[in-house]
């Protein structure tokens, strides 16, 4: 997939010897790869469906599912096609939203995602990466899928914010004032992950901050520095992903967080990330986590509004190299699609049986 919106030539900042390369504005990319009126209405409907689940008006289970990160457009679209068919099969009991993660946080160094290095070779063709990311998301939406991503770099958000049905703010950035301000201006529901220590206090503070209007420094759609005024986002919720001390999806952990949210008069809307510390970073343990949380939900805990699964065409992960296996993650390990399908079909069957009982 070739980029047709290119970056401008490199220049050298003599003050600090930093190389700079001007990117196209988010408006330019959106004009080149527009969202049609029909798909715009579809995205709005997807966002409203997620809101209805958060607010208890829709009793379906929200499931954010897909690759840990997208590195290969071909396998991503194949996965999206399979997920679109599965989403239709379980639509009475679940709303499936595809993970389209094109940015990856790094503690030190490493591959930063499709938007940064789409050719996987360290060339960092970010203009091409942004174009490829938007193109892929448009294709996924065309299949009827809601699309989700983690917004890591606020300046990148404007290149695909009109396509997203749901957004995550990650464990490393939930504490960031900049990300809280950004979330307060987003038009879709936002899930804040608990901090890497496993505690929910940072994410709860983020939800409270994002609910309020802000004025902050930013960049407008034409790439100019701007003062951004946001209305506040009422559609935030908590995502529990475990922490350094272990998982936090068990009944006692959830009950403790319920109590904290109630004390602060914050709606108790909780999603469980079945990966990361909750699964001990073992992707094949995700179904066990999912099923334990699912039992809590079946036994009446309606605040458990959704779950997140890392899933690709095939299970496991592989190091970034010159010879990659098709459909296998190059970041965190994933559950294979066949196991994901069995897990979600079984859960949908149980939800349907309970509704009919």
294 assigned to some structural domain = yes
Domain of 347 in residue numbering reads as 21-356
316 assigned to some structural domain = yes
12 assigned to some structural domain = no
The kind and range of the H/E element at 45 are: helix 37-54
**How far is it, in rounded angstroms, from Cα 15 to Cα 290?**
53
225 φ, ψ (degrees, to nearest 5): -60, 140
Can you read off the two tokens belonging to residue 70?
Answer: 């997208």
Number of structural domains the chain divides into: 1
8 assigned to some structural domain = no
Direct distance between the N- and C-terminal alpha carbons of the chain, in angstroms, rounded to an integer: 50
87 assigned to some structural domain = yes
Contact in structure between 312 and 326 (CB atoms under 8 Å)? no
Q: Output the CA torsion sign for 162, 166, 171, 177.
A: positive
CATH number at residue 170: 3.20.20.70
Per-residue pLDDT of the chain (357 residues; tens, 9 = 90+): 444 567 766 655 555 677 888 999 999 999 999 999 999 999 999 999 999 999 999 999 999 999 999 999 999 999 999 999 999 999 999 999 999 999 999 878 899 999 999 999 999 999 999 999 999 999 999 999 999 999 999 999 999 999 999 999 999 999 999 999 999 999 999 999 999 988 899 999 999 999 999 999 999 999 999 999 999 999 999 999 999 989 999 999 999 999 999 999 999 999 999 999 999 999 999 999 999 999 999 999 999 999 999 999 999 999 999 999 999 999 999 999 999 999 999 999 999 998 888
142 assigned to some structural domain = yes
5 assigned to some structural domain = no
29 assigned to some structural domain = yes
């Amino acid at each position: 997939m070739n980029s047709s919106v290119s970056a401008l030539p490199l220049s050298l900042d003599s003050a600090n010897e930093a190389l700079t390369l001007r990117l196209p504005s988010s408006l330019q990319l959106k004009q080149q790869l527009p969202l049609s009126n029909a798909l715009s209405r579809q995205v709005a409907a997807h966002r409203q469906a997620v809101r209805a689940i958060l607010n208890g008006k829709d009793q379906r289970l929200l499931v954010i599912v897909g690759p840990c990160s997208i590195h290969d457009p071909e396998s991503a679209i194949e996965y999206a096609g399979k997920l679109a068919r599965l989403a239709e099969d379980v639509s009475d009991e679940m709303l499936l939203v595809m993970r389209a993660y094109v940015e990856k946080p790094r503690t030190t160094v490493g591959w930063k995602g499709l938007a940064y290095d789409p050719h996987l070779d360290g060339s960092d063709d970010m203009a091409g990466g942004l174009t490829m990311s938007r193109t892929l998301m448009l294709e996924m939406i065309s299949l009827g899928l809601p699309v989700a991503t983690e917004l890591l770099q606020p300046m990148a958000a404007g290149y695909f914010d009109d396509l997203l049905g749901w957004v995550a703010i990650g464990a490393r950035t939930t504490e960031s004032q900049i990300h809280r301000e950004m979330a307060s201006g987003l038009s879709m529901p936002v899930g804040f992950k608990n901090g890497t220590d496993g505690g929910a206090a940072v994410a709860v503070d983020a939800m409270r901050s994002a609910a309020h209007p802000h004025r902050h420094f930013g960049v407008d759609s034409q790439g100019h520095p701007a003062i951004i005024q946001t209305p506040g986002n009422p559609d935030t919720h908590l995502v529990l992903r475990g922490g350094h001390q272990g998982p936090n999806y068990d009944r006692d952990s959830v009950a403790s967080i319920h109590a904290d949210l109630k004390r602060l008069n914050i709606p108790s809307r909780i999603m469980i990330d079945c990966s990361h510390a909750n699964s001990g970073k073992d992707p094949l343990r995700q179904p066990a986590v999912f099923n334990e949380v699912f039992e809590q939900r079946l036994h009446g805990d309606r605040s458990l509004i959704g779950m997140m699964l890392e899933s690709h065409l095939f299970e496991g992960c592989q190091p970034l190299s010159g010879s990659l296996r098709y459909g296998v993650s190059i970041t965190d390990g994933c559950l294979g699609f066949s196991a994901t399908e069995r897990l979600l079909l079984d859960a949908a069957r149980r939800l349907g049986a309970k509704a009919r009982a």
